[in-house]
Amino acid sequence: MSDRLTLTKELLGRLVAFDTTSHKSNLGLISFVEGYLEGFGIESRRVPTADGLKSSLFATIGPSGVGGIGLSGHTDVVPVTGQAWDTDPFTMVERDGKLYGRGTADMKGYLACVLASVPELVARPLKTPMHIVFSYDEEVGCTGVRPMIAELGKTLPLPRMVFVGEPTEMGVVDAHKGPVRWRVEVTGRAAHSSMAHLGVNAITYAGRLLAELGRMEEELKRLPPNPRFDPPWNTLQVTEIGGGTASNIVPVPCWFGWEIRALPGFDVSAFDTRLRRFAAENCLPEMLRTAPEAGIEITITNKVPAFGADTKSGIVPLALKLAGQNETFAVSYATEAGLFQLGGAPSVVCGPGNIAQAHTPNEFVRVAELDKCLGFIERLADWAEQ
Ligand SMILES: [Zn+2]
């Protein structure tokens, strides 16, 4: 086993041990990475949250003043709550060529590969610099990377290209869907449930809205499919719901969350407008007749842009060459790639591990995947010397 692979495993064990579940601070991990980079004389820049409890990290290896290559990953992981793990999720365990632990696939394995490549990267005469670009809060709507992207080309250098190391088994992903999420709050009026006509039942009106969403979902399925994606249509679904007060009270509150995962190039705004119009025409007039304080509030809570790789920068052919692949893939999950690209840095997604293991109990990454990723970074370093 190569020294670099041994170092990768050691580093992954350290990274997994930091419980960086999205709602917790990631500063322990960030300090660890800063200290590690400092050991090689590399300065890091933090882009912290306003409350200072979380931070992104940006660091450069190689010359400054030249467009570099971003190696990008998120430091946060999804919760282990309610999952039945065979081992402690925050203590990495190796068994049968697999490394188990929360975040091993999504995506601390990639972070470990990047960090384990640092000793070699600093030793090489790079003409194109490498940027380490680590974010937080990816798992809660790709929110943490946005303030850092806003600094690219201003207080931080704008990378010429960004490789986002989400788990693709080192395949090259050049397109993904973009989720848009809404929260709908229906407010009715309370009454004793024996006197239903005096109240406004928020759940009844929420039901009408849900039925309309069901019709919208069917329409989205009938649009011309994009066979690169599985499933090949824009998916729409209701993901959360809550409401009511007690079994004998006309319910005042009802809320639900819904989402569309949009194909690249699909504009969801017509569907946003449609639900608002349906509420205004088919629910509100009736509700207001009984209770002027009744209402329906529809808010977009999160929007991650869909991603289609740029074709002018040469990033896709380069990624294919480095990964030893000859075709690209599209995926249905979202990443930070679309945001980097909107921020001016062409991106592709390529990283170790399989998305099927992400977010699950007994998450693992294969050692062989990490080895492939180290090879990818090594070939990238060769390219960066030219
Ligand atoms: Zn991820």
pTM, rounded to two decimals:
0.91
Give me the catalytic one of 34, 76, 174, 369. 76
Q: Please say whether the beta carbons of 130 and 71 come within 8 A.
A: yes
Centre of ligand 1 from the C-alpha of residue 264, in Å: 19
pLDDT score of 374:
98
pLDDT score of 208:
98
pLDDT score of 213:
98
The reply to whether 138 belongs to the active site is yes
Q: In whole angstroms, what is the distance from residue 120 CA to residue 222 CA?
A: 52
Longest CA–CA separation in the chain, Å: 80
Centre of ligand 1 from the C-alpha of residue 334, in Å: 9
- How are beta strands 253-262 and 178-187 bridged, if at all? antiparallel
Ion ligand 1: residues, Cβ under 5 Å = 106-107, 166
Token couple for 295: 């209402």
pLDDT score of 2:
85
pLDDT score of 65:
85
Centre of ligand 1 from the C-alpha of residue 74, in Å: 7
Q: Which residue from 338, 348, 343, 342 is spatially nearest to 314, judged by alpha carbons?
A: 348
Mean pLDDT per 10-residue run, the chain (386 residues)? Answer: 94 98 97 98 97 97 94 97 96 98 98 98 97 96 96 96 98 97 98 96 98 98 95 97 97 98 95 98 98 98 95 96 96 94 97 95 98 98 96
pLDDT score of 367:
98
Q: Which residue from 181, 189, 182, 193 is spatially nearest to 253, judged by alpha carbons?
A: 189
Centre of ligand 1 from the C-alpha of residue 254, in Å: 32
The reply to whether 76 belongs to the active site is yes
Centre of ligand 1 from the C-alpha of residue 58, in Å: 18
Centre of ligand 1 from the C-alpha of residue 333, in Å: 9
Centre of ligand 1 from the C-alpha of residue 206, in Å: 33
Give me the catalytic one of 106, 138, 336, 369. 138
- How are beta strands 172-176 and 328-331 bridged, if at all? parallel
